[in-house]
Amino acid sequence: MISLCNASGSRLPTDKLCVGSAKHTSDIAAQYDNAVQVLPTPRGQQGVEAGLTGPSAEPYVPEKSFYRRELPANLVSFTSAAGRKLFKESLNKGYAEGYFNLAGNFTVQSEPAYCGPSSLAMVLNALEVDPGRTWKGVWRWYSDELLKSCRTESELKANGITFDQFLCLASSHAQVVAKRGAEASREEFLRDIKYVTQRVDVFMVLSFSRKHLGQTGDGHFSPIGAYHPESNKALVLDSARYKYPSWFGDVDELYDSLQPVDGETGLPRGYFLIAHKDDPNIRGTSLPDSKGSDACGRSSACCLPKRH
């Protein structure tokens, strides 16, 4: 049972498992799961929230804070004994080839709503795409805060990006095939998972509903890292590592989590296959059939940012 409990040595409540906790506390915690939730700023702290500092400025401390969530019983934590067993068997079967490329470039999203840009940055770095612009100092590298969509920074921090906006953002840096909801069959989804997990030059990013899987919150982006054929489970490398660990989920349940309609767009979610843009037939093999993929220009909500 999830509840608000006092962490040892801290006056702040944290979101963790406690014995004998009341159910209503989980409802309180649920208020803070969505990216659009804006905590009230106490009087005198407005300057701090706006990024203004001074000699007398005090760090802003939210009224409530949380430390992670418990995974639902239908999902298997990657770091659990069962999760490690699933991963070892996936690797031995040849269905975790791209995991090390992703793990070596894993990025925890820098903002609660940056799951889309963070997942894309992970994949682009795993593909060794040169961003063509500096990150810090003299180094060129992808990070989520440098991947700008047509939304303003404040809109992005509040609401993240939609399926179409992710498609257009990704398409300006890589070769992308996007498949929305039921436009790809259950069999095609499984085939694509098997395809990407046996390669190091193509990766999959899911746009799915957390709520459908029993997690808190709703829309989320994260890449796929492995597939376990015997149990038909896929490893989701959760970009919100502060909230959930990476986890194995049933592929049929993952497919179903793509179907709920996004309240902002009125359309279902889906998934993306991403490869290096400069070589459509990278290392001799092209992307799978792009039937059902979206074209970037079809949506008025979609925009194409320029590389610098």
Q: Look up residue 133 and give its amino acid.
A: R
Which one of the listed residues 115, 168, 296, 302 is annotated catalytic? 115
Q: Name the one residue in this structure whose structure tokens are 């009341």.
A: 22
220 carries an active-site annotation: yes
Residue ranges in 50-162 assigned as alpha helix (H): 81-92, 99-103, 115-126, 153-159
238 carries an active-site annotation: yes
Which one of the listed residues 238, 262, 294, 302 is annotated catalytic? 238
CB under 8 A, 24+ apart: contacts of 190-196: 190/232, 190/251, 190/255, 191/288, 192/271, 192/273, 192/288, 193/224, 193/227, 193/234, 193/251, 194/95, 194/227, 194/229, 195/273, 195/288, 196/98, 196/224, 196/273
Instruction: Give me the phi and psi of 277, to 5 degrees please.
Output: -70, -35
CB-neighbour burial class of residue 149 (10 A; exposed 0-12, middle 13-18, buried 19+): buried
Which one of the listed residues 173, 220, 262, 302 is annotated catalytic? 220
User: How far, in Å, CA of 196 to CA of 151, rounded?
Assistant: 30
User: How far, in Å, CA of 247 to CA of 208, rounded?
Assistant: 14
Q: Name the one residue in this structure whose structure tokens are 């303003």.
A: 152
Angle formed at CA 206 by CA 156 and CA 124, multiple of 5 degrees: 70
Alpha carbon distances (Å) from 226 to 93, 99, 205, 235 = 10, 6, 12, 5
Report helix, strand or coil for 222: strand
192 carries an active-site annotation: no
Catalytic annotation, residues: 115, 220, 238
